[in-house]
A and B are shown apart, each in its own frame.
Chain A
């Protein structure tokens, strides 16, 4: 860990919205390049960074579309900067092909999706959480991904830093799954001094450039099987590609090489899933029902959990700050002890299906879903808690 560059850290107490707080988190984490195409309700993120970048030597490019935005941040990353793009559902769909490229090239970067109601252009100015499975599986091929889900402007700041740190630690794209409600919600955000913000520096190659092999994983770093990077212009000639490749970065079209590569790409995240957990638990011990939630839906769940407790039910709450990978070990421990789990999410059943698959009948797993456009009615969540307790 290193300390944040003070140039990017706007220390103090602010009254800003989730989009602006996300932008501040990115800059505090060291992001100095953003490419994007404007789309409600995410545009304020890029707007904020474009306004602040001149003070810290950052670059913003408004691209022709989201395909190009994603390509640009992959290039910027290999050029030596921490990079990000920001969009909403329709743009997220367009980014998917190059998300796969970033996964395959093991490019650390952050993609922010301020979710709105969908499908298609849907509800541009209203919230949704229905891009969660797209975040998990939206690009083709087998891979694992990391996604965080903030529930407030303060968390938008904190978790965007965490997203950048995870991207560097695992050399992987990381998604920040905001939503319109949090993105356009203004609250107090406290930004600490730079020396209190930990950032994960890029894993860099330190040997002679002429001997550099871009995917040669020797010891990895901190137990993660990744290779060190070199940036464009640092004296090495190397090749990186979306094709299945060997340690030299050259395409090798054999099942053996494919197996070797994918087992590492998937394993570097799957094998560390117990380390990537970030949950906040309340009253889980001794509970009959535990509510699972993420992002804005946690704030609806608070009210429903409080109402259930007033009715005498024993209810716990697990707020998932990181949704992908799912906190599998913890969910299984809880499932062994409770009557039921209630998943609160603003969609018609996405993350809940992964929880049901995982729990495999050990306890009831109910969905408190919602179409979006606004947040849940807490009464509907309460009725699911009551159903799970029966």
Chain B
């Protein structure tokens, strides 16, 4: 079982990111993924988060009880949910938006997802950059699984930019993993 939380502020597409990850795994990745979302009565649109429980067998308990992966797209999201990250859990964050304060030894990967999205010409695709990055650093599924999922989850006229965003996050993720491995070996 892998329990993942994607958090950020409204408008960043964090729920969408969770949906894409869950859908990719459920429909094309041979896994079972249950997605729930947290929001208050007054706040559909402010701070929000998507929780995805991922397993090889059907998921029974619907909520996450600790995270194996925390994806923070905002400082508030990081501060609010950092405590539930398990000791061996993986912290993934938006490098330019989140300042972290973690004990040494915390497994972590960061990406300037928003900057990359701006370079692609569509700031809105920062969540898709992040999806590619999460895929690469967690090793949950191959990029092909996300590529199959994307057309049903983004508007057709923005599909090409989103594909580029996905690939950018994926490639950057692989490079970061390689660099981290090299560092560990040295």
CB-contact partner of A125 in B27, B33, B35, B41, under 8 A = B41
Closest to B19 in A: A186
Within 8 A of B (CB), among A288-315: 296, 299-300, 302-303
- The answer on a CB contact under 8 Å between A299 and B61 is yes
**Docked pose: A375 CA to B59 CA in angstroms:** 15
The total of Cβ contacts below 8 Å across the A-B interface reads: 54
Q: How far is the CA of A188 from the CA of B22 in the complex (A)?
A: 9
SS class, residues of chain B in contact with chain A: mixed
Closest to B15 in A: A186
Write the B69-92 contact mask toward A (1 if CB under 8 angstroms, else 0).
000000000000000000000000
Would you call A184 and B37 a contact (CB within 8 A)?
A: yes
Is A328 close to B, CB under 8 A? Answer: no
A156 to chain B, nearest CB (A): 13
The answer, yes or no, to whether A249 is at the interface (CB within 8 Å) is no
B181 at the interface (CB under 8 A from A): no
Please indicate the chain B residues that have their CB under 8 angstroms from the CB of A13 in the complex. Answer: 27
- A186 to B63, Cβ gap below 8 A? no
Contact of A15 with B by CB under 8 A: yes
State whether A181 and B62 are in contact (beta carbons under 8 Å apart), knowing that A15-B23, A186-B19 are contacts in the complex.
yes
Verify A181–B39 contact, CB threshold 8 A. Answer: no
Residue of A nearest to B50 (CB): A186
Number of interface residues of A (CB under 8 A): 22
- List residues of chain B with CB within 8 A of the CB of A300: 60-61
A187 at the interface (CB under 8 A from B): yes
Question: Max chain A CB contacts within 10 Å: which of B26, B35, B60?
Answer: B60
A118 at the interface (CB under 8 A from B): no
Check if B41 sits within 8 Å of A15, measured CB to CB. no
Give the Cβ gap from B11 to chain A, nearest Cβ, in Å. Answer: 19
B40 beta carbon closer than 8 Å to chain A:
yes
Q: Does A40 contact B (CB under 8 A)?
A: yes
| Residues of the B chain whose Cβ atoms lie less than 8 Å from the Cβ of A375 | 61-63
Contact in complex: A185, B34 (CB < 8 Å)? yes
User: Which of B39, B40, B41, B62 is in CB contact (< 8 Å) with A185?
Assistant: B62
Complex CA distance for A299 and B60, rounded to whole angstroms: 5
A124 within 8 A of B: yes
A378 within 8 A of partner (CB): yes
Assess whether A186 is in contact with B22, with CB atoms less than 8 Å apart. yes
Residues of B within 8 A of A (CB): 19, 22-23, 26-27, 32-37, 39-41, 59-63
18 contacts between A and B (CB under 8 A): A14-B27, A15-B23, A181-B36, A184-B37, A185-B36, A185-B62, A186-B23, A186-B35, A187-B33, A187-B34, A188-B32, A296-B62, A299-B61, A299-B62, A300-B61, A374-B63, A375-B62, A375-B63
Top 7 nearest A-B pairs (CB, nearest first) are A15-B23, A186-B35, A302-B60, A124-B41, A188-B26, A299-B60, A187-B34
